[in-house]
Amino acid sequence: MKKRIVVALGGNAILTTDPSAKGQQKTLAQTAYYLADLIEIGHELIITHGNGPQVGNLLLQQQLGATEQNPAMPIDTAVAMTQGSIGYWLENALVDELEKRNISKNVATILTQVVVSETDPAFQAPSKPIGPFLSESEMESEKKQTSATFVEDSGRGFRKVVPSPKPINIVEYPVIEKLVENGIITIAGGGGGIPVVRKNDSYQGIEAVIDKDFASEKIAALVHADMLVILTGVAHVSINFNQPNQTDLTNVTVSDIEKYIDEDQFAPGSMLPKVQAAITFLKENTNGKAVITSLENIKNLLSEETGTIITA
């Protein structure tokens, strides 16, 4: 049975060890191979993706080369720029993979604006990691040159953090929905979307980065998706992670996940926003299903053979 599925790609589906354009294009070709399995079955697909390393790297490049005549762009514009570059690479990778399989499908990338509130408390407490992982000495050097805030991220080093407000609405969701209804594979919400606020009857960019899982959930709810699939680097959500009693979760309910959140089982900025996004989606669509798993397991997720499957 055909389903409308929003697939949120994790960073490992775009960038591994080679941050060059060629390296990221190679990784996305592998990603397209897995995504094409869902398309081949006949499902309607909306693909979202992160951009944390890319937008952070772009901001660093701009800062290093900034002059009065050639100033660095603000974060919202950098998000738009990386939406375009990653969408361009992914769109071409999908077209190439579908042609190999003799599947006649159009692919479109939609520059996506996400409405947030200026009064969101996130603006007073930056929390979203962007850019490369830094050693402690590199981080201290960066802090001397900027007023940025840094945090230790998952034991892999220090990263810059910026405000991460919650999405209120997706400006282009009617366009996304119409594209999908017409059989077009749609790439949207890149990097969590371009953060905008409504001012003086127009949308204006604001300095922030929206979590791509929350933006993906908002898109899924607005286009009435049957399933939200959040792809990450592990096959399952786990409790007691990295401990001798680690347990992988398979089939769980919203109430189960909420209990584990109360127990602080999920790391903020890592697995926590993924399970929170899944909960929000299922509360808005009680007949839907949310799955958190790895890219490599995507072919089996519809047969419920793998991953963490969450239902209302």
Task: Tell me the pLDDT tens digit for each residue of 246-293.
Answer: 999 999 999 999 999 999 999 887 899 999 999 999 999 889 999 999
Residue 304, pLDDT above cutoff 70: no
- Give CATH superfamily name and number for 1-35+46-116+164-196+211-225: Acetylglutamate kinase-like (3.40.1160.10)
**Which of 11, 52, 56, 192 does the annotation list as catalytic?**
11
Residue 258: the pLDDT is: 97
Distance of CA 124 to the CA centre of its chain: 23
Strands (E), the chain: 4-9, 44-49, 107-109, 113-115, 128-134, 149-152, 158-162, 169-170, 185-187, 194-199, 202-205, 227-232, 238-239, 247-248, 251-253, 289-294, 308-311
Residue 43: the pLDDT is: 93
Q: What is the pLDDT of residues 189-228, one digit of tens each?
A: 999 999 999 998 999 999 899 999 999 999 999 999 999 9
Q: Is 128 a catalytic residue?
A: yes
Residue 71: the pLDDT is: 87
Q: Is 22 a catalytic residue?
A: no
CATH architecture for residues 226-311: 3-Layer(aba) Sandwich (3.40)
Spans of all domains in the chain: 1-35+46-116+164-196+211-225, 226-311
Q: Is 12 a catalytic residue?
A: yes
Residue 132: the pLDDT is: 73
Q: Is 274 a catalytic residue?
A: yes
Do domains 1-35+46-116+164-196+211-225 and 226-311 share one topology? The answer is yes
**Which of 50, 56, 128, 307 does the annotation list as catalytic?**
128
